[in-house]
Structure 1
Amino acid sequence: MPTAPLPELVDELLDRCRPLPIVSAGAAVLRQPALPYEGQLSGGRLERLLRAMRETMHNAPGVGLAAPQIGVPLRLAVIEDPAEVAAEVREARGRVPQPYRVLVNPSYEPLGDARAAFFEGCLSVPGWQAVVHRPERIRLRGQDETGRELDEEFTGWPARIVQHETDHLDGVLYLDLAETRSLSSAQAVADHWSQPTPAAAARALGFPLPGEHGPQGGQDRHDAP
């Protein structure tokens, strides 16, 4: 937890040049559950923080950013995805545009048993990607920046974004959930595994996909998470 009071920490952060620096894996703030947001920041300070988070997310570029990723241990996240992808990618991944949203104190639960596996990256783990099995459909609860209660269902890629950012607020990185045999440099993904689904990567690298059993890519496979 921060040694300085949260308002002072945020003021010091916002006085820096934009975009804000993104904290990399290995920093304790990424591994500790964030504090519930309970009005610790004045309305104007919260607005400035969220604006800076959105700018930083756009600049990275990314489709989500959690407050711990800029060193602020509060349960706040922003998401936004224009989903400017090819039609076959959109269909395979359920990647549809997601407007700018603020998530305050979010939590989620799976709806149904269906799971999907795709490569993910993270702004706090630059240069690497790995396949993560996640529920295809979730229920999100929390609030927005105005305090309005959220109780919504998400599917496809928007559900993956919500899960990824909410996990950050629990001190979880996507690597904790990933198929370790799939871990690839971003360059390797671009060169070899940019297909709409990770099926080719699973065969070549030897990791399971949902609903599959037995050896894959000549290797013994472990159960999917």
Structure 2
Amino acid sequence: MASSPDRAAVAGLVEELLATDGPLPIVAAGDPVLRRGTERFDGQLDGALLTRFVEALRLTMRAAPGVGLAAPQVGVPLRIAVIEDPAPVPEEVRLARGRVPQPFRVLVNPSYEPVGTARAAFFEGCLSVPGWQAVVARHAEVRLTGEDERGRAVDEVFTGWPARIVQHETDHLDGLLYLDRAELRSLSSNQAMAERWTQPTPREAATSLGFELPR
């Protein structure tokens, strides 16, 4: 967890980021802000500034494009993330991965815990690690708790691909990248993904690249 940043400094940082229109710059792996963890949100941004920041996160996520974005990915060390997944995938992919549409959501101070012991492994990418993907085994079902942007309590169970998204984004808030949990033998460029690993599951990749999937 990060040490407590000066409240005025955090607000000033966000104001500076929002001074120009358009998507925010996304921080790439190697920047310490992605590794320091984040400060629990408790009003560091007033209501109007929080609304503007959330909208900027939404714009940036969609422009990238991605299905989630955490505040430290734009250099802000606050425990805030956004998710959204229209899930425009073929039926066989939807069935294999449990990928169903997710509306735009704001996650404030989220944390998760596994529901059951089942794990699922699929290729993942990250906007802060552009150009690469790797297989990550994650909990197949999680309980997410926290708040939304209006301070209302969130206590919800996610399964399938939505569970993967909330784990990925919450991990960002704890200073973790998906590579920390990945099977590194699976690491593949986007070109290799397009040419070799478009199957709904990574079974063929596991056989060819020599790594194991969870049973």
Same fold (TM over 0.5): yes
* Equivalent residue number for residue 180 of structure 1: 184
Q: Unaligned stretches of 5+ in structure 1?
A: 212-225
* Equivalent residue number for residue 6 of structure 1: 10
Q: Unaligned stretches of 5+ in structure 2?
A: none
Q: Number of paired residues?
A: 211
Distance 1:33 1:126 in 2: 21
* Equivalent residue number for residue 89 of structure 2: 85
SS in 2 for 1:190: helix
**Identical amino acids, percent of aligned pairs:** 69
User: Which AA in structure 2 matches 1:57?
Assistant: M
Counting only pairs closer than 5 Å after superposition, residues 1-225 of structure 1 correspond to structure 2 as: 5-211=9-215
1:17 offset after TM fit, Å? Answer: 3.8
1:16 offset after TM fit, Å? Answer: 2.6
Distance 2:209 2:176 in 1: 24
User: Which AA in structure 1 matches 2:180?
Assistant: D
TM-score (norm 1): 0.92
1:129 offset after TM fit, Å? Answer: 0.2
Alpha-carbon RMSD across the aligned residues, in angstroms, is 1.0
Write out the 4+ residue segments of structure 1 that deviate beyond 2 Å after TM superposition: 1-4
User: Which AA in structure 1 matches 2:88?
Assistant: E
1:66 offset after TM fit, Å? Answer: 0.1
Distance 2:78 2:190 in 1: 29
User: Which AA in structure 2 matches 1:117?
Assistant: A
1:33 offset after TM fit, Å? Answer: 1.2
User: Which AA in structure 1 matches 2:185?
Assistant: R
1:121 offset after TM fit, Å? Answer: 0.1
